[in-house]
Structure 1
C-alpha cells in the first residue's frame, strides 16, 4: 500500500484510503464500491508534537475508487491547514 505524501505550507500531509463494504462489512455483498479516506497532518517544524488525523468529509457522494478518495483527503487537509474547514480530530 502506498501512502500519498505532500508538503504544504510547512506541514506534511499523508493520506490513505480504504474500501467500505456495503452491508455489514461483507466483502461479497452486492452494492456500489465506496471508499473512505483519512488525512494525517504533521507540523514539520515541531517533531515532538503528535500528528493530527482527520476523516475526510465528502461534500456530495462517496468516491468510487481509491485515487479519488486520496485526492479528496489531500484537498481536505489543505483546507484544514488554510483554516477554511474546522474539523474534529480522530
Structure 2
C-alpha cells in the first residue's frame, strides 16, 4: 500500500482514505458506501512540532471512490496551508 504524498509550500501533505459502511458499520448492509479521508500536514524542515491531522470536510459532494477522497483531501490540505480554511485538528 502506498500513501499519496506531495510537497506544498514547505509542507509535506499525506492523504489517507477509508470507506464508511452504512448502518452501524455493517459491511453487508444495503445502502451507499461513503468514503472519507484524512490529510496529514507536516513541516519539511526538521522541527519538534508534531504533524497535524485534519478530517476532510466535503462541501456539497461526497466522493464516490477512494481516489476522489484522496484528491479532495489533498486540496483541503492545500487550502489549510494557504489559510483559506480554518480547520480543527483531529
TM-score with structure 2 setting the length: 0.96
Please give the alpha-carbon distance, in whole angstroms, between the structure 2 residues aligned to 1:27 and 1:2: 24
1:1-90 matches, cutoff 5 A? 1-90=1-90
Cα deviation for residue 65 of structure 1 reads 0.3
Q: Aligned with 2:72: secondary structure?
A: helix
Which segments of structure 1 move beyond 6 Å, counting only runs of 4 or more?
Answer: none
Cα deviation for residue 62 of structure 1 reads 1.6
What residue ranges of structure 2 are gaps of 5+ in the alignment? none
**Structure 1 or 2: larger helix share?**
2
What residue ranges of structure 1 are gaps of 5+ in the alignment? none
Q: Provide, for residues 27-70 of structure 1, a one-character-per-residue CA deviation record: whole Å limited to 9, x for no partner.
A: 00011111000000001113321000000000012211000000
Aligned-pair Cα RMSD in Å = 0.8
Please give the alpha-carbon distance, in whole angstroms, between the structure 1 residues aligned to 2:32 and 2:60: 15
